[in-house]
């Protein structure tokens, strides 16, 4: 059980690193507009005026992070591989919901951000199970 919890934590660390890395590349591809970020209203205005490509890039970061984090969690867990992978997906969904609650996003982005991470984390875990079965 402790190994499973540890694998979920490491899966989340990998997922967060993937999100941060993709966000860094995204700020290079889609630079922030000039202006101040003094309060939430300024940030909400920037998100509202962001190009669709930037929003898709952020969504892709969430989804890629779910897949990679689920893969890592399943790979490191011994007993509850799929449970660990799905737990990472659920934690990412909770993060997306919190993010959307604090900062308004387009509805399509929030919907895909809530629907996508758990199946992709499952896919990452399934990849580990297929490899483990092939090695037997």
Report field, pTM of the whole predicted structure over 0.85: yes
CA distances from 126 to 33, 45, 94, 95 (A): 41, 40, 22, 23
pLDDT tens, residue by residue, 21-78: 999 999 899 887 776 677 777 778 888 888 899 999 999 999 999 999 999 999 999 8
The domain ranges of the chain are 2-135
39: left (phi over 0), alpha (psi -120 to 50) or beta: beta
Mean pLDDT of the chain: 91
Phi-psi category of residue 35: left, alpha or beta, with phi > 0 → left and psi -120 to 50 → alpha: left
């Amino acid at each position: 059980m402790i190994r499973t919890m540890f694998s979920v934590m490491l899966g989340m660390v990998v997922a967060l690193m993937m999100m941060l890395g993709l966000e860094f590349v995204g700020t290079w591809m889609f630079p922030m507009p000039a202006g101040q970020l003094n309060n939430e209203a300024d940030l909400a205005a920037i998100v509202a005026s962001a190009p669709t490509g930037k929003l898709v890039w952020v969504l892709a970061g969430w989804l890629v992070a779910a897949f990679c984090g689920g893969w890592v969690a399943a790979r490191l867990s011994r007993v509850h591989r799929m449970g660990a992978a799905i737990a990472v997906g659920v934690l990412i969904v909770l993060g997306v919901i919190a993010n959307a609650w604090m900062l308004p996003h387009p509805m399509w982005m929030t919907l895909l951000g809530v629907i996508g991470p758990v199946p992709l984390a499952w896919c990452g875990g399934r990849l580990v199970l297929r490899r483990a079965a092939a090695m037997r």
